[in-house]
Amino acid sequence: MKKYFVIGNPIKHSLSPQLHNYWIKKNNLDAFYDKKKLKEDEVGDLISLIKQNEISGINVTIPFKKTVIPYLDKLSPEAEKTQSVNTITLYKNKLIGHNTDTEGFKLAIKKLNFEIKNKIILILGAGGVVPSLIYTLKNMGANKIIISNRTRGKAEILKKLNNEIEIINWGNISPCDVIINATSIGLNENDEMNLKLENFGKNKLYFDVIYNPRETNFLKIGRKLGNLTENGKYMFIYQAMSAFKLWHGIIPQIDNKVIELLDND
Ligand code: NDP
C-alpha cells in the first residue's frame, strides 16, 4: 500500500486526509493518506523515507513550505520562483518539489469567470501563501499588485523578489479591483480586520484564502458593501487535485461529496 502524508505544525486543522482518502477510495487505489505533526528538525528524515520507498509522496503546509527545499533535488518552475513547496514527488529517483497552490488559486479564479487581466490587485498579508498569489496574478496579466502587511518589512522582502509590486502601509487605502485577504485574520470566527473596507468602494472581487469558517468577517463585510465574494475552498480543492494528479496520474472528480467534506467541517 502506498503511503502519503501532509506535514505541518499545527496540522490538526488539515482537511487534506479526508479529501485525498476520498479520491483514493473512489479511484480504487491501494494507498492511504495521513497527517503528521513534525518539529523542524524531523522534516529531513521524513522526506528521506520517500527515496527509501517507504512513503510515496508528501504535502507540505505551514510552516514548512520553505523548510523542505534544501532536502529536495529539484524544484518545479512554480516552486523555484515562489520558493514555496507544497507537494513532493519522486521522479527517476529524484525528489521534486512542486507548488500546486499556484494552480489552485488560478483555477479558483477561473471558476469565477473573473478576468484578472489589466486589473489592480490589493493583497492583504505577506506570509507564506503570498508568493504563490503574486506568481499566479502576474501570469494572469494583472496590471498592478499592491501588498499591504501589518509588518511592512515582510512586504519589502517580497518586493526584493518581485520588484514590480507596490507596498502600502497597513490601514491605507488604494484604488483596486480585487482585494485578497491572505492574512490569517478570520480563522477564528470573531476575528475582525481593523481596516475601513467601506472606503474601498464596491463592485470589486473580495477573495479570502481562508475557507473555514466559510464566510469570514472580511467576506461578510465585502458582501454587504456590494462586492463579489469568494472563499478559499476551491483554491484548496484545486491544489489537492493537482497534487493527486502528480502522484497518481489521475484527475480526481470534484463531486458533491468533495464539497460536503469541506463544508461540513
Ligand atoms: P503566515 O503565517 O505565513 O502569514 C500570516 C499573515 O497574516 C502575515 O502576513 C501576518 O502579518 C498576517 N496577520 C496575522 N495576524 C494578523 C493581525 N492580527 N493583523 C494583521 N495581520 C495579521 O500564513 P500563510 O501565508 O501560510 O497563510 C495565510 C492564510 O492562508 C492562512 O489562513 C491559511 O490557512 C491560508 N491558506 C489557504 C490556502 C488555500 O488553499 N485556500 C493555501 C495556503 C494558505 P505579519 O507579517 O505582520 O505577522
Pocket flag, ligand 1, residue 104 (CB < 6 Å):
yes
Contacts for 205 with CB less than 8 Å, ≥ 6 apart? 112, 114, 177, 178, 179, 227, 228, 229, 230
* Equal fold, 2-99 vs 103-233: yes
Q: For domain 2-99, say whether CATH 3.40.190.10 is its number.
A: no
Nearest CA to ligand 1 atom 26: 128
Pocket flag, ligand 1, residue 62 (CB < 6 Å):
yes
Q: Which of 9, 20, 150, 235 to mutate to test the pocket of ligand 1 (most atoms within 8 A of CB)?
A: 150
Active site residue 66: no
Closest CA to 208 of 194, 225, 220: 220
Distance from C-alpha of 64 to C-alpha of 7, rounded to nearest angstrom: 8
Distance from C-alpha of 1 to C-alpha of 149, rounded to nearest angstrom: 44
CATH number listed for the domain at residues 103-233: 3.40.50.720
pTM of the predicted model as reported, rounded to 2 decimal places: 0.96
Q: Yes or no: say if 67 and 88 are a contact pair by the CB < 8 Å rule.
A: no
187 CA → ligand 1 middle, Å: 9
Residues 104-136, buried b or exposed e (16+ Cβ, 10 A)?
A: bbbbbbeeeebebeebbbbbbbbbbbbbbbbbb
Which listed residue (65, 119, 204, 233) is catalytic? 65
- Phi and psi angles of residue 222, each rounded to the nearest 5 degrees, phi first: -55, -45
260 CA → ligand 1 middle, Å: 25
Q: Give the residue extent of every domain in the chain.
A: 2-99, 103-233
Distance from C-alpha of 249 to C-alpha of 89, rounded to nearest angstrom: 12
Q: Yes or no: say if 215 and 187 are a contact pair by the CB < 8 Å rule.
A: no
Nearest CA to ligand 1 atom 37: 209
Peptide bond just before 213 cis, omega within 30 deg: yes
Give pLDDT tens digits along the chain (265 positions).
999 999 999 998 899 999 999 999 999 999 999 999 999 999 999 999 999 999 999 999 999 999 999 999 999 999 999 999 999 999 999 999 999 999 999 999 999 999 999 999 999 999 999 999 999 999 999 999 999 999 999 999 999 989 999 999 999 989 999 999 999 999 888 888 888 999 888 899 999 999 989 999 999 999 999 999 999 999 999 999 999 999 999 999 999 999 999 885 5
The H or E element that residue 239 is part of is helix 233-248
